[in-house]
Amino acid sequence: MTALNIGIIGVGNIGSLHASYLTAGEIPHAKLVAIADIDPARLTAATARFGALTCYDSAAALIADPAIDAVIIATPHYFHPLIAAEALAAGKHVLSEKPAGVYTQAVQRTLDVAAQHPELTYALMYNQRMNPAYQKARALVQDGTLGELRRTNWIITDWYRSQSYYNSGGWRATWAGEGGGVLLNQDPHQLDLWQWICGMPSRVMGFTYNGKRRDVEVETEATAYVEYENGATGVFVTTTTETPGTNRFEIVGSRGKLVIEDQRLRLWLNAQDEADFNRTYQGGFGQPDCREVPVDTVFDGDSGHQKIVKNFVSHILDGAPLMSPAAEGLRGLSISNAIYLSSWEHRWVDLPIDGAAFLTALNQRRATSKYDAAAGFSGQVLDTKGSY
């Protein structure tokens, strides 16, 4: 195979963005040939904008098209693992939007299907993994530059969302239609990067605030405190209702500290590992010498979406290493599920998460959700250009 025929399932906000660069020919060796959406108006709008494409009124109909080699899934989250499993079983490669799913059991079932098809690729749109600052941070943690991990802190409050955003789609911000709020919609990127760079915590204490400052049933604000196996600790702070917001990621190790803020990575290194200094120093108030070290990482403002699609295509066609395998989506989702469960049950939640316990608690919330499936998924298509 020398080129991929791609179908997009769900042509709302982000599905339209993916369609725009694919139809503009910006992804080598990939061609958008079909789209599917359960809302006929979305199909009409997409063909008016992107030209003649084969249209299907369901994911299943597009998946049954033998001309399609790979699908991009851009529907609301609950459908991601369900449609992915169907596509994989039909022999299609899958690139799914984040999150991998709403709860881990559904994602695990799809990973089991994927395991039966090792010839197929199942990847996620973790576009922020393509940001050089996060890639550099990961390298600095993994190659030991920072020493032993001591503390991680991420304040991510610059995902501002007004009430009009929440009103733009019937499924949004409901337990039954979406399955969560800021932790599940906006934060999957940071929760993935947090574990990708620092590793998985071993237990989580979470605090979530439903409908705070917005008329929605899910959380608009959350704070989590985590512990790692080696004794390190971490704090994750998030909300959609703060402006001006902050995006500051700080990682402290025994040999230094790095901070990513304003798309810039800064690194400070100690002359001596803190543990060694502490063992030998006799002077009382002193501390290790420390200097800021220049880091040659420049963020080019690229959202990374196209880079993920290019990587997905070249992995399938040429065997390039895959940047965001779907199996890794289980990790960030586990942290997210654990924050909810901890908050709902006012207790520590150990990782790996008890997927059945989380699903039981989620289902209680879905049962009383105001989401009206009959009202459908439609609403406004918002411009996601420049969203990151």
Ligand X SMILES: NC(=O)c1ccc[n+]([C@@H]2O[C@H](COP(=O)([O-])OP(=O)(O)OC[C@H]3O[C@@H](n4cnc5c(N)ncnc54)[C@H](O)[C@@H]3O)[C@@H](O)[C@H]2O)c1
Q: Indicate which single residue of 29, 38, 250, 354 sits in contact with ligand X (rule: CB under 6 A).
A: 38
Q: Indicate which single residue of 127, 131, 324, 343 sits in contact with ligand X (rule: CB under 6 A).
A: 127
**Residue keyed to tokens 């605090």:** 207
Backbone angles phi and psi of 9, in degrees to 5: -105, 115
Token pair of 354 as six digits: 């008890």
13 binds ligand X (CB under 6 A): yes
Please calculate the CA angle 337-98-18 and round it to the nearest 5 degrees. Answer: 170
CB of 124 to ligand X, least distance (A): 9
SS (H, E, C) 168-209: CECCCCCCCCCCCCHHHHCCHHHHHHHHHHHCCCCEEEEEEE
CB of 25 to ligand X, least distance (A): 21
Residues 168-187 that bind ligand X (CB under 6 A): 169, 185
125 binds ligand X (CB under 6 A): yes
Segment near ligand X (CB under 6 A), from 37-45, 135-143, 323-331, 353-361? Answer: 37-45
Distance CA 381, CA 373 (A): 18
Cis peptide before 81 (omega within 30 of 0): no
CB of 52 to ligand X, least distance (A): 19
Query: By rule CB under 6 A, what string of x and - marks binding of each residue 43-62 to ligand X?
Result: ----------------x---
Segment near ligand X (CB under 6 A), from 18-26, 346-354, 360-368, 377-385? Answer: 377-385
Q: 228-244 burial string, b = 16+ CB within 10 Å, else e?
A: beeebebebbbbbbbee
Give the residue closest to ligand X by C-beta: 12
- Count of chain residues binding ligand X (CB under 6 A): 29
384 binds ligand X (CB under 6 A): yes
Q: Are 274 and 255 in contact (CB under 8 A)?
A: yes
- Per-position DSSP letters for 42-80, written without gaps between them: HHHHHHHHH---EEESSHHHHHT-TT--EEEE-S-TTHH
CB of 21 to ligand X, least distance (A): 13
> Between residues 141 and 182, which has the closer beta carbon with respect to ligand X?
182
36 binds ligand X (CB under 6 A): yes
Residue 12's DSSP bridge partners are: none
85 binds ligand X (CB under 6 A): no
12 binds ligand X (CB under 6 A): yes
CB of 160 to ligand X, least distance (A): 15
Residue type, 163: Q
Chain residues binding ligand X by CB under 6 A are 9-15, 36-39, 42, 59, 74-77, 79, 97-98, 125, 127, 169, 185, 377-378, 381, 384, 387
